[in-house]
Structure 1
Amino acid sequence: MKKKLPMTLLVGSLVLTMLSGCGSNATQSSTPAAQPAGEKMELVTDGKLTFAMSGLLKPLNYKDSGGNLTGFDVEIGNEIAKRIGLEPNPVTNPWETILQGLKGKKYDAIIGSMTATEERAKQVDFTDPYYISGGQIFVAQTNDTMKTKDDLKDRTIGVVQASTYKEIAKKYTSKIKGYPSDVYALQDLVPGRVDAVITDKIVGVSAIKEQGLQIKSVGDVLEKENIAIAVNKDNPVLLKKINEAIKAMVEDGTYEKISVKWFGTNLLK
């Protein structure tokens, strides 16, 4: 992504500079399904889908107390691997070199909350999005007067200091309150110290799920970010099969179950 996702809720503001548990327990085959001629996937390790992430973005991808990779991205990757007949093999790589690692065939895919941008698409291919993020308006749960972005006019809006969301807020009001952290801004919604907060969608839904904040989102994301899986350009069969797996997961309800488990909501809606 442009890396605007939280490592933890207490350091939610870090997402503005970076962005952009448990895996499936189903028994998984270590042998790939037979591939028809012309339908061969190029894999780093036969029988495995090796997919990379930073491992630093809780609850998206992180290491638990036992040192095992877990999180939303991991569970999505595990389910995709199962559906295309492969053993899941999640690995970590520093974010700043994660694209180079993919192009260097260290792993087969990046399932690590990466925004599919035009610049990145020059280097790799992207699947259909497996979740949607971007700047989102949040208000107190009891606030029934703000229903669209137009209702931000002349309101007091909280944003993280020096974030790009400050520029968005300026389009609607001059009453802007800066905060050192997204979480502090969101916490000020309930007592009414600000009327609305603009922050990354994942930060807000995570605060609702993890902290139980009595807040809600308003409208659609202001600047939509499609978060997708990256694969090498010379691997069209893998790209196709991952897209088919994502589509099937959405259609049979598996995707929504995973999303609600980690965030309390469907991240594709």
Structure 2
Amino acid sequence: MGKLKVLFLLLTVSVLVLSACGTKKDAGAEKSDGDGSYELMKKGSLTFAASGVYKPFNFEEKGKLTGFDIEIGEAIADKMGLEANPVTNPFETIMQGLIGKKFDAIIGSMAYTKERAKQVNFTEPYYYSGGMIFVSEDNKDIKSEDDLKGKKIGVVAQSTYEKPAQTLSDNIQYYSSDVVALKDLTIEGRLDAVITADIVGYEAIDNDFKIKEVGKPLWVEQPSIAVRPDNDALREDIDKALKEIIEDGTYDEISKKWFDRNLLDLDLEGVELLE
């Protein structure tokens, strides 16, 4: 009987050890979407980042993130069967945040460029936007990009507008928010011009900023959703969900809510796409 008791105890301990190992493995799986095909920072949720200071695309209102980017992210998460978990990160360090696994994706008006694509993987574009020069309403000196030589230009650091601005002038003022830069245009002596998205500038004009556009867009950029290269299965599912919200009319509804038009409805023939 003594030997049988010892054998029974050994079997019991073995079962407990195996159970404990299984529990540890299951806990680790909480970083996946349930079937293990891709990694999520929080099980059952799509955690995506935006700067939170890029109105009307992403901004805080009454303590909550809202805007076009945020609603697109929410619609995509819904199609994927996930909860939307939008977070903020300064734009100048947002790629580092993604690579450092602070969030799953960037849905924050980050345009695709070949340089950025060396570090992250991008989905198809989820809207098109033109890079535009804006000046104060009473500025009569700047009528084209050729007039910007030596002028003080405001741009958001690490944005797609930074390098073009540097080719036009050696006097660059960096900002963390396009809205603040455009506001500085209205204060005498602060800035001569700002280069930002045409949509953002027009939104500022609609909100009584005393500014105006100069000429036509310098180029058209392709804001896309970014994920880490080692999580490309997530990009594939996001692309699939994006296609679905475009096809079922959800995208059109969100776009027209914020801009009275579909931001993907643009004739790209003969247009220079920023790469």
TM-score with structure 1 setting the length: 0.61
Ranges in structure 2 where 5+ consecutive residues have no aligned partner: 1-31, 135-141, 154-163, 169-179, 187-193, 267-275
CA contact (8 A) 1:135 1:165 kept: no
Task: Quickly say closer, same or farther: Cα 1:137–1:266, change in 2 above 3 A.
Answer: farther
The residue number in structure 2 matching 1:202 is: 199
Partners of 1:68 and 1:261 lie apart in 2 by 18
Deviations 1:181-218 (A, max 9, x none): 768999xxxxxxxxxx99632134424655599x9999
The 2-side partners of 1:43 and 1:109 are apart by 10
Which residue does the alignment assign to 1:45?
A: 42
Q: Does 1:104 align with 2:95?
A: no
CA deviations over 1:138-184 (Å, ceiling 9, x no partner): 9xxxxxxxxxxxxxxxx95598854457988xxxxxxxxxxx97689
Contact 2:143 2:215 in 1 (8 A): no
Match of 1:82 in 2: 78
AA matched with 2:63: G
Work out which of the residue numbers 60, 83, 92 in structure 2 matches 1:63. 60
Change (3 A) 1:135 1:86: same
Match in the other structure for 2:112: 116
- Consecutive unaligned residues in structure 1, runs of 5 or more: 1-31, 139-154, 169-179, 187-196
Segments ≥4 residues shifted beyond 6 Å: 165-168, 183-186, 215-219
State the number of aligned residues: 195
Counterpart code for 1:267: L
User: In 2, are the aligned partners of 1:33 and 1:84 still within 8 Å (CA)?
Assistant: no
* Candidates 251, 255, 267, aligned match of 2:263: 267
Q: Secondary structure at the match of 2:43?
A: coil
Scaled by the length of structure 2, the TM-score of the pair is 0.59
2:133–2:215 contact (8 Å) kept in structure 1: yes
Q: Determine which structure has more spread, i.e. the larger CA radius of gyration.
A: 2
Paired with 1:181 and 1:95, the residues of 2 have a C-alpha distance of 14
Cα deviation, 1:125-146, whole Å, max 9, x if unaligned, reads: 00111111123599xxxxxxxx
- Give the corresponding residue for 1:92: 88
Moved more, 121-130 or 250-259: 250-259
Q: Deviations over 1:211-249 (max 9, x none)?
A: 599x99997x44121101110111122101111111122
> SS of the counterpart of 2:230?
coil
State the identity as a percent: 50
Partner of 1:252: 248
User: What is the distance in 2 between the residues matched to 1:241 and 1:124?
Assistant: 16
**Bigger fraction of residues in helix:** 2
Deviations 1:99-119 (A, max 9, x none): 111111111001111111111
| Rounded Cα–Cα distance in structure 1 between residues aligned with 2:214 and 2:184 | 16
SS at match of 1:62: strand
Report whether the alignment pairs 1:128 with 2:89: no
State the Cα RMSD in Å: 3.6
Give the AA of the match of 2:100: G
Instruction: Supply the distance in 1 between the matched residues of 2:185 and 2:213 (Cα, whole angstroms).
Output: 14
User: In structure 1, what is the equivalent of residue 68 of structure 2?
Assistant: 72
